[in-house]
C-alpha cells in the first residue's frame, strides 16, 4: 500500500471543505447540495489519489446534454431524477418496472475508488458509491438462456438538449456479457465522493465497469434487459471499426486514429507527463481470466 501523498490530502481536504459548506448550509452557486450517502470502504479500491470533485463534475461525456466536455455540467441541472424507475426485462424470473428505491433496496453500498479511462485517452480516479450489479441480477433471477445484459439511458427531449441531434440513435445503449456483468468489479453507482450522483455524472444511477473504456459505463439507466444475443451498443453502431463490443482497456490495441498506449490524467497539470495505460486499466489480475482463449485484437 502506498502512503498518503500530498495530492491525497488536497483532494480529501477539498472534499471535507465541501461537506462542511453543505453542513453549514452555505449555498454553492450552480452546485445544488447533494444528499450524503453512507457507504463502507472496499478492498477493490485503488490507493491512487482521487481527482477532485470539481474535476469529476466539470469534464464529462454525456451526449444527451451536448458534446462539449462542459455541456453536461451546464445543461444537466434540469434533469428530473425523482421519481425514477427502471424496467428490468427479458430473461429474468421477476421482470417489472422497479422504482429506484426498490432497485437499491438491500444492496450493500460501498465506496469504490476506481481508475477510469476514456477511449479518448484521458483518465481520472473516481471515488464512486455503488453496489455490485450481480446483487441486483441475482435478486431479479437470471434465467438459464441469458448470456448478455443490455442497458438503456433515459430519452427526455424536454430536459436533454443533446437528443435533438440525430448523431446518436437514441437511446444511448450499452451491453455486457453476463460473466462481465456478474463480475464483482462491475457496479451500479448511485453517488460519488460520498454524495448522491451529480446529474452530469449520470444521476440517479449509472453503470461503472472500470476495466473497460468509459463509454461502456452508461449513465441515467432506465432499462436493463437480459438477452440471449449480443445487444447493439451505441458506439459500435456508430463506428464498428473503431469501437468494439468489448472495449477492454488495452494499451496494445490502438484506436485507428490514435494510440492507446498512454493517457493524460485530468488535472495532472501542464507539465505532468503522460502515463502508461495499463492492461485492463490496471485490473488485469481480477478480469483477465474472463477472456481466456479470446484474441483481444479481434474482440476489441
Ligand X SMILES: Nc1nc2c(c(=O)[nH]1)N[C@H]1C(S)=C(S)[C@@H](COP(=O)(O)O)O[C@H]1N2
User: Can you give the binding site for ligand X, defined by CB under 6 A?
Assistant: 60-64, 118, 153, 172, 201-202, 214-215, 217-220
- Taking the complex as a whole, the smallest distance from the CB of residue 122 to ligand X amounts, in Å, to 8
**Measured from the CB of residue 160, what is the shortest distance to ligand X in angstroms?**
9
CA distance 34 to 19: 10
Q: Does 210 bind Mo ion (CB under 5 A)?
A: no
Q: Tell me the three cell numbers of residue 152.
A: 438503456
Contact between 214 and Mo ion (CB under 5 A)? yes
Question: Residue of minimal CB distance from Mo ion?
Answer: 118
Query: Least distance to Mo ion from the beta carbon of 64, Å?
Result: 14
DSSP 26-85: PPBTTBPPPPB---EE-TT---SPPPPHHHHHHS---GGG-SSTTHHHHHGGG---SS-E
122 is a site residue for Mo ion (CB under 5 A): no
Compute the least distance from the CB of residue 201 to Mo ion, in Å. 13
Give least dist CB 115 to Mo ion, A: 14
- Which residue's CB atom is positioned nearest to ligand X? 214
Determine the Cα–Cα distance for residues 150 and 173; give it in Å rounded to an integer.
7
Contact 8, 125 (CB under 8 A): no
Cβ nearer to ligand X, comparing 154 with 226: 154
The residue from 122, 215, 245, 300 that contacts Mo ion (CB under 5 A) is: 215
Q: Report CA-CA distances (Å) from 101 to 15, 77, 80, 201.
A: 26, 21, 15, 19
DSSP run (H or E) holding 238: helix 234-238
Give 132 or 174: the residue with its C-beta nearer to ligand X. Answer: 174
Question: How many residues would you count in the chain?
Answer: 300
Q: How is residue 28 annotated by DSSP? A: B
Smallest gap from residue 233 Cβ to ligand X (A)? 11
C-alpha Rg value of the chain to the nearest Å: 19
Residue 88 vs 142, nearer CB to ligand X = 88
Report angle CA 213, 216, 220 to the nearest 5 degrees: 135
Of the candidates 297, 247, 91, the one whose C-alpha atom is nearest the C-alpha of residue 178 is: 91
Per CB under 5 A, which region of 35-43, 97-105, 191-199, 215-223 contacts Mo ion? Answer: 215-223
Site string for Mo ion, 38-67 (x = CB under 5 A): -----------------------x------
Residue number, 105 or 258, with CB nearest to Mo ion: 258
Our CB check for ligand X shows the closer of 202 and 231 to be 202
Distance, in Å, from the CA atom of 271 to the CA atom of 31, rounded to the nearest integer, reads 30
Report how far Cα 169 is from the mean position of its chain's Cα atoms: 20
C-alpha cell at 285: 489480475
Asked if 209 touches Mo ion (CB under 5 A), the answer is no
| Contacts to Mo ion by CB under 5 A | 61, 118, 214-215
Amino acid at each position: 500500500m502506498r502512503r498518503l501523498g500530498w495530492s491525497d490530502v488536497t483532494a480529501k481536504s477539498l472534499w471535507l471543505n465541501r461537506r462542511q459548506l453543505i453542513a453549514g448550509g452555505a449555498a454553492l452557486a450552480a452546485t445544488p447540495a447533494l444528499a450524503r450517502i453512507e457507504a463502507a470502504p472496499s478492498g477493490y479500491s485503488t490507493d491512487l489519489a482521487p481527482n477532485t470533485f470539481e474535476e469529476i463534475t466539470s469534464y464529462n461525456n454525456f451526449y444527451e446534454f451536448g458534446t462539449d466536455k462542459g455541456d453536461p455540467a451546464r445543461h444537466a441541472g434540469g434533469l428530473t431524477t425523482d421519481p425514477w424507475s427502471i424496467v428490468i426485462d427479458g430473461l429474468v424470473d421477476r421482470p417489472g418496472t422497479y422504482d429506484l428505491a426498490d432497485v437499491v433496496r438491500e444492496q450493500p453500498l460501498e465506496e469504490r475508488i476506481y481508475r477510469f479511462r476514456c477511449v479518448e485517452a484521458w483518465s481520472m480516479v473516481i471515488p464512486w458509491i455503488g453496489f455490485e450489479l450481480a446483487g441486483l441480477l441475482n435478486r431479479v433471477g437470471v434465467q438459464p438462456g441469458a448470456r448478455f445484459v443490455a442497458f438503456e439511458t433515459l430519452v427526455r427531449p424536454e430536459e436533454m438538449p443533446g437528443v435533438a441531434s440525430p448523431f446518436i440513435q437514441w437511446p444511448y445503449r450499452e451491453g455486457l456479457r453476463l460473466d462481465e456483468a456478474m463480475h464483482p468489479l462491475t457496479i451500479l453507482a448511485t453517488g460519488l465522493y460520498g454524495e448522491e450522483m451529480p446529474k452530469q455524472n449520470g444521476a440517479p444511477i449509472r453503470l461503472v465497469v472500470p476495466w473497460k473504456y468509459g463509454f461502456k459505463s452508461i449513465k441515467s439507466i432506465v432499462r436493463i434487459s437480459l438477452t440471449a444475443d449480443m445487444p447493439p451498443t451505441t458506439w459500435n453502431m456508430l463506428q464498428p471499426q473503431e469501437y468494439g463490443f468489448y472495449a477492454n482497456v488495452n494499451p496494445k490495441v490502438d484506436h485507428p486514429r490514435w494510440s492507446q498506449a498512454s493517457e493524460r490524467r485530468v488535472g495532472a497539470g501542464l507539465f505532468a507527463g503522460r502515463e502508461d495505460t495499463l492492461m485492463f486499466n490496471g485490473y488485469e489480475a481480477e478480469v483477465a481470466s474472463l477472456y481466456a482463449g479470446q484474441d483481444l485484437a479481434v474482440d476489441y
